[in-house]
């Protein structure tokens, strides 16, 4: 996910939000079993091999015959959680094997998402004490074409200029900030083939290094935005393998099917259906884990 994320960078992020008296907690919200009248329809993309099983994208529509999307996500069959690589990274850092899986969306999905990049991080990644040594998945839902994402490389003469051109004003979700040490512009922490990562400052796993140890909880799930050249171009749930596996074994229906609200901007650069939450669930009938952007709302 991040190339560099240090205590200094997080301190800088807090300084950016020194005018915020308190940060409301990230909250889980109950998900209703009721949908629009009629049965919902789920359309899947082509499966990709992962571990001992497969993973694929999907889009869920409100009801049969309705082309209004309510959820766009990634579905793992239960075998995909086993036989995963034990070394390597989800990073495009060139120093080790990269575990990247590109998932194409089903046709006519009517969402702004162009493709999904799934990354498997068997050893986690920096910063130490937060995400390092915690096996987890990154789910990058991109609103740009893959070719455009692939052009985000340091050899591009415009790399620094495009990284430093960050969204501002109403386009920025509340409680989020790009993280970089004082005096270091976003281009100093931009990740090749990804861009600049923005963290929700309320995230519990960050509180220890933000000077609030009493509010710290170990990383299980979090949400990140990514920007490049003036726009946000991906939305990213980041979830540990262990947290996903718990969805299958729990007896608590509220834990098995969890929806977590996300900060949303007042405005979007492009119109479309955008999420107000992300969802993590185990579907006993389909025998699959699902991670999705959900509660999509049309924004102009």
User: For residue 9, what pLDDT band results from cuts at 50, 70 and 90?
Assistant: very low
In this structure, is residue 272 part of a structural domain? Answer: yes
Number of domains forming the structure of the chain:
1
Do 224 and 238 form a contact (C-beta atoms < 8 A)? yes
In this structure, is residue 115 part of a structural domain? Answer: yes
> Considering only CA atoms, which of 184, 190, 255, 257 is closest in space to residue 227?
190
In this structure, is residue 81 part of a structural domain? Answer: yes
pLDDT for position 109: 92
Residue 222 CB-half CA count within 13 A:
24
> Considering only CA atoms, which of 162, 289, 163, 179 is closest in space to residue 224?
179
In this structure, is residue 1 part of a structural domain? Answer: no
In this structure, is residue 85 part of a structural domain? Answer: yes
* Rounded percentage of the chain residues whose pLDDT exceeds 70: 82
pLDDT for position 34: 37
Could you report the per-residue pLDDT of 122-172, keeping only the tens digit for each? 987 777 788 888 999 999 999 999 999 999 999 999 999 999 999 999 999
pLDDT for position 131: 84
237 has a pLDDT exceeding 60: yes
User: For residue 37, what pLDDT band results from cuts at 50, 70 and 90?
Assistant: very low
251 has a pLDDT exceeding 50: yes
* Cut 0.75: pTM above it: yes
Could you report the per-residue pLDDT of 184-205, keeping only the tens digit for each? 799 998 999 999 999 999 999 9
In this structure, is residue 172 part of a structural domain? Answer: yes
pLDDT for position 182: 56
In this structure, is residue 189 part of a structural domain? Answer: yes
Cβ partners under 8 Å of residue 200, min gap 6: 26, 173, 175, 176, 222, 223, 224, 262, 263
Phi, psi of 225 (to 5 degrees): -110, 155
Could you report the per-residue pLDDT of 62-111, keeping only the tens digit for each? 865 678 999 999 999 999 999 999 987 666 665 557 799 999 999 989 99
The parent domain of residue 181 ranges over 7-19+27-299
Position with higher pLDDT, 24 vs 230: 230
In this structure, is residue 2 part of a structural domain? Answer: no
Q: Mean pLDDT score of the chain, rounded to an integer?
A: 86
* Rounded percentage of the chain residues whose pLDDT exceeds 90: 71
C-alpha–C-alpha distance, residues 40 and 258, integer Å = 18
């Amino acid at each position: 996910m991040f190339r560099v994320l240090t205590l200094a960078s997080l301190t800088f992020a807090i300084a950016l939000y020194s005018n915020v008296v308190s940060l409301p907690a990230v909250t889980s919200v109950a998900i209703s079993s009721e949908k629009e009248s009629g049965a919902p329809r789920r359309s899947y993309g082509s499966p990709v091999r992962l571990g001992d099983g497969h993973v694929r994208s999907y889009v869920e529509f409100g009801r049969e015959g309705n082309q209004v999307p309510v959820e766009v996500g990634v579905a793992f069959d239960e075998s995909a959680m086993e036989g995963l690589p034990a070394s390597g990274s989800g990073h495009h850092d060139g120093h080790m094997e990269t575990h990247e899986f590109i998932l194409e969306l089903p046709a006519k999905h009517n969402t702004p998402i162009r493709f999904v990049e799934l990354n498997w991080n068997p050893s986690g990644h920096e910063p130490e004490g937060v995400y390092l040594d915690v096996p987890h998945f990154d789910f990058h839902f991109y609103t740009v074409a893959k070719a455009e994402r692939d052009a985000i490389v340091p050899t591009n003469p415009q790399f620094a200029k495009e990284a430093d051109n960050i969204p501002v004003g109403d386009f920025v979700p509340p409680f989020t900030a790009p993280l970089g040490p004082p005096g270091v512009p976003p281009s100093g922490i931009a990740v090749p083939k990804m861009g600049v990562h923005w963290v929700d400052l309320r995230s519990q796993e960050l509180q220890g290094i933000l000077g609030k140890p009493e509010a710290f909880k170990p990383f299980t799930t979090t949400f990140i935005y990514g920007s490049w050249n003036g726009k946000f171009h991906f939305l990213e749930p980041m979830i540990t393998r262990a947290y996903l596996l718990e969805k299958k074994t729990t007896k608590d229906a509220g834990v098995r099917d969890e929806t977590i609200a996300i900060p949303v901007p007042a405005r979007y650069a492009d119109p479309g259906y955008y999420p107000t939450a992300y969802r993590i669930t185990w579907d006993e009938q389909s025998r699959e884990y699902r991670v999705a952007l959900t509660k999509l709302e049309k924004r102009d």
